[in-house]
Structures are given as C-alpha cells and as structure tokens.
Chain A
Amino acid sequence: NAGVTQTPKFRVLKTGQSMTLLCAQDMNHEYMYWYRQDPGMGLRLIHYSVGEGTTAKGEVPDGYNVSRLKKQNFLLGLESAAPSQTSVYFCASSPYRGPFSGANVLTFGAGSRLTVL
C-alpha cells in the first residue's frame, strides 16, 4: 500500500499565482487533513474533512481552499499565493475519531515544500 501520497513534492510560485496540492490515500480513511509546518511551530491545521463532500476550517484556514469530491482525494488550493504561505504542507488521514484504542491516529504523507517568491 502506498498510504498517503502528496503531489507535487516541491513547487516554487510567484506572488499572486495559484496552485493546487493533491493528496491521495488508499486506506479507505474517512478523515483527511491538511497541515502546514513552519520552523519551531509544530503542525498547524489548515482544513480538514470528515468524509466525502465535507470540509471544515482548521486553525489557519485563511488564503486556502479545499475540496473532497472523492473519498480518497483531498485537494488544497491557493488562489493567490503570498510569501507568508511559504511552508511545508502535510496531508494526513485517519480512519476514525474517538476516545478508544486505535482512534485519532493520523498517517502522514511525505510533505510538499512550497516556496512563494
């Protein structure tokens, strides 16, 4: 199994350009997440999805949009990139949530490094 696959791995954009990051998971997980990671700040949740056709805002959603048209795919879009969006972006998925063993465990992709000039 591939697990969680992110494309592209690297991208350089100019300010104002748009792009889409693709995340695909082959584990039939219900929940999918987009995080950004900046030095010394850990992981911050951008948007997440609790199932096909649903999306919700996380901690830092401004400047990003997402779509989950198919259960296995979760897309992250930047409509007008800004230098503050230079970061490493991680997609993750989990099968279910709850206060019981095995819940809430996220499987991460390898990351997409985005530089906005």
Chain B
Amino acid sequence: GQQLNQSPQSMFIQEGEDVSMNCTSSSIFNTWLWYKQEPGEGPVLLIALYKAGELTSNGRLTAQFGITRKDSFLNISASIPSDVGIYFCAGQGSNYQLIWGAGTKLIIKP
C-alpha cells in the first residue's frame, strides 16, 4: 500500500529560527495537505496544494508540492512560541483516500 514518510519526527528550535519539514511518498499524489494539531484539539488545515510545483504561503508558512508529485515540504519562518504543536502532512492519490504522515512535533527551546 501507499506509504508516506514524514521527517523529522521532532524538532527543538529557538524562537526566531526557521523550520523545515518534509514528506515523501512511495507513489504519486494529486493533493498534498498540511495540518497542525495542538494539544487536546483536532488537526487544523494550514495549506492545501493541488498542482506539481505549486508553492503556497499562509503568513509565515510556505509549502510546496514537489515536481515529482512524491514529496512536499513545509517551511515556517521566524518561529514563535505559538508555533508549537504537531504538524501533519497528508497526501491523496487516485483513489481519493488520504494517507497521513506520522507527524513532526515542534518544540520551542526555553
């Protein structure tokens, strides 16, 4: 079956640093979605990507749909304390089912 690898698993960052995380798939996806989950809440959509090569921003967040259609990355610029949480990527293939990454946990160093 389709698999999706998300890395890194966790990140310790200083406030103000830029953050980068990515997801790679064993097969082609038609859609990439990036979600953020805070403790005790459900995931909330950050960015949706629908075309290979597409680059989309949402404030300090930027995500790209890889040219090969097998990967996507999410960048966060100038991180702030409220960026902490778990970030999930999800890819959708031809059968319209979403495949989810295991998440990247973002932690701000004190």
- A interface residues, Cβ below 8 angstroms from B: 4, 40-45, 58, 90, 92, 97-111
Give Cα distance in the complex from A102 to B102, angstroms.
23
Kindly list chain B residues whose C-beta atoms are within 8 Å of the C-beta of A111: 40-42
How would you classify the secondary structure of chain A's contact residues: helix, strand, loop or mixed? loop
Give Cα distance in the complex from A99 to B43, angstroms.
21
Closest approach, in angstroms, between the C-beta of A4 and any C-beta of chain B? 8
How many residues on B have C-beta within 8 angstroms of the other chain's C-beta atoms?
Answer: 23
Q: Of all chain A residues, which has the CB nearest B98?
A: A104
Inter-chain CB contacts under 8 Å: number: 58
Give Cα distance in the complex from A4 to B44, angstroms.
12
Complex contact B50–A101 (CB within 8 A): yes
Give Cα distance in the complex from A99 to B30, angstroms.
6
Give Cα distance in the complex from A107 to B102, angstroms.
18
Complex contact A43–B50 (CB within 8 A): no
Given contacts A109-B42, A110-B40, A111-B40, 11 further A-B contacts (CB under 8 A): A42-B88, A43-B43, A43-B90, A45-B97, A90-B42, A104-B96, A105-B45, A106-B33, A106-B43, A108-B43, A111-B42
